[in-house]
Amino acid sequence: MTRTWRVDVKGHIPHAPCIVAFWHGEMLPIWFAMRKMRPVALVSASNDGRYLSQLLVDWGYDVVRGSSSKGGGEALDAMVEHARRGRIVMITPDGPRGPRHEFKPGAIVAAQRAQVPVVLMRAYAQRAKVFERSWDKFMLPQPMSHITVHASSGISIHADADREQVSVVIENVQKRLNELGSVVL
């Protein structure tokens, strides 16, 4: 099915070390669009995450398992280390359980500690099945769908930013991600 997707990127796919943040419900087309960069993906340590991990490994990803509710500290350390070593690290800041489109701090904290920028991404599929009853309104692009992926420029977080400044960054990044590409899902 994914082989028939046509992906158009607005902005630039990152090539340098960074943290890529995107909403959980839009993960599939964004992971598909980024697969050639051979990034590292943060995936929930849940049973559902096991299936997703296998898909991502098949697409060439390295996978870190963990979330804010299970193995979060170790996962954060691993993401920071991968980014410091020059890798692109991909995170859904509202996952794995929501609330939908609420930017949790992990991506920003990882970027700050690794001193790499955050790149925001959104996806819109011309034809997609949206699972309205799922917490994230998961989007599954249909075969032959045209997908537009929007990518922001890098956003840097100062190494010395305190907790209050990081909170302001998170608030601003959440707003910017929601407005990126004027995608309404």
Q: Where are the domains of the chain?
A: 2-182
Among 156, 84, 86, residue whose Cα is nearest residue 120? 156
Judged on CB neighbours under 10 Å (0-12, 13-18, 19+), 179 is middle
Residue 122 or residue 69, greater confidence:
122
pLDDT band, very low/low/confident/very high, at 148 (cuts 50, 70, 90): very high
Across the chain, mean pLDDT equals 93
Residue 113, exposed/middle/buried by CB under 10 A (0-12, 13-18, 19+)? middle
CATH of the domain spanning 2-182, picked from 1.10.3720.10, 3.40.50.300, 3.30.1060.10, 3.40.1010.10: 3.40.1010.10
Q: Name the least confident of 4-8, 23-27, 63-67, 119-123.
A: 63-67
Name the band, by pLDDT with cuts 50, 70 and 90, for residue 185.
Answer: very low
Question: Do 11 and 153 form a contact (C-beta atoms < 8 A)?
Answer: yes
- Which contiguous run of DSSP H or E holds residue 19? strand 18-22
**Cα–Cα distance, 50 to 43 (Å, whole number):** 8
pLDDT greater than 80 at residue 71: no
Burial 124-143 (b: 16+ CB within 10 A, else e): bbeebeeeeeeebbbbebee
